[in-house]
Amino acid sequence: MSSSSAPDTQVVVSLKQLVSVLERENAQLHCKVFKQPLQSLTREGRGVRRLVTLVEPIANLIAEYDHCQIQSVEQQVSPNSAVILPTTEQQHMYRAYEKLIQWCPSIHRLVGPATEADTASFDITLTCKELQKGADGARGDDAATLKTAVAQWFNESRPPPDPPFILRDKGGRGFNHEITRRLLCPVDYNWDDMDVRAAVKEYHPDFRITAHSWLSFLYADGLFKGKYLIMAFQCLFTSPSSAQNEIKSGNTARTSQSSRTTRRTHNHVARLLKMNTVQPRAIAYVATQLRFVLSSCTSWTVMDEDFNHEEFYHNIVDYFELPSSPRKAVELNELFLWWNQKIFGCQNAAHYRPQPVESLSVSLSRRA
């Protein structure tokens, strides 16, 4: 029996490989007809995790959009029927869908009314598959880049860490090293209190490390101004060298830089993504990546013991996108001005803080 099952298994594997090859060839032929190479979709997808959603599959976002459209039509047909309120998860997905069509032109082109349903369905399936490949690939690449960079930053600090950090091994990070455990400690706990340290190490239920607390690395003269958070953002979105400049220049806003520097970094990730201003979801993405890199978790996962990376990401996104009051909205506006000056420089203010030209002298003189 075992001798006959082995050939059967080999046949199944061979058939699966053949199907995969045929699907790929069919997709390539289809892309030639519609003049969009698969590689361009994969490149476009590299912005999804960075600017849209941390873990949600792209197809799920489109499905949630379709679900909302169906509900809207049903409500119009039967206005007296009970309104079904979306869950928190559904709200997160729909808001992510709105970002998806903003940052992924291919999706925006396909989700409109289709004249040929079968072709549109194939287009969306193929596009989602290639975008997903780029999205997950970029998240893995960013985690690998940041893992090495953070260890180098720590090792180059003065006084040097004891023991030093190993660049590609995370076993000595997390709560196994004084530097990383202090950065990972929630601000709700006083890490200098020896009783607190002992409670955290012993997994006391009153001192759990969860996404319901802001972590210490997020802070420096205020929430979301942490030194390593800024450096991680620069490392992933502008260039690793700009993060090194942060070490040298300190925690001050960047001033005008020479054109030589601008030419040298013209292909940085932010520019490739056409991101001219700091995006809330980009900060949330970097913060989540940094939390993962600081931990001793060896491979990317949503749950790291009691800590939920996805929940942490959504908490940051909601903090930025759903301000609790008009006063908080003003505070966030000033925070993003600070961020944009740090990342893009004061000389690029036209992108992130346009002038209210209608209230300036030229416009006013025309009304007189």
Q: What per-residue confidence (pLDDT) applies to 24?
A: 62
Cα 20 from Cα 117, distance rounded (Å): 24
Residues 9-28, mean pLDDT to the nearest whole number: 64
Q: What per-residue confidence (pLDDT) applies to 18?
A: 66
Q: What per-residue confidence (pLDDT) applies to 185?
A: 97
Closest CA to 236 of 181, 197, 200, 275: 275
- 263, pLDDT greater than 50: no
- 32, pLDDT greater than 80: no
Give tens-digit pLDDT for 64-74.
999 998 888 88
Q: What per-residue confidence (pLDDT) applies to 262?
A: 41
- 40, pLDDT greater than 90: no
Give tens-digit pLDDT for 169-215.
999 999 999 999 999 999 999 999 999 999 999 999 999 999 999 99
Amino acid at 214: W
Integer Rg of the chain from CA:
24
**Mean pLDDT across the chain:** 85
pTM value is 0.83
CA angle 88, 93, 96 (to 5 degrees): 125
Q: What per-residue confidence (pLDDT) applies to 255?
A: 44
Q: Give 17's pLDDT tier (boundaries 50, 70, 90).
A: low
> Would residue 106 be called left, alpha or beta, if left means φ above 0 and alpha means ψ between -120 and 50 degrees?
alpha
- 1, pLDDT greater than 70: no
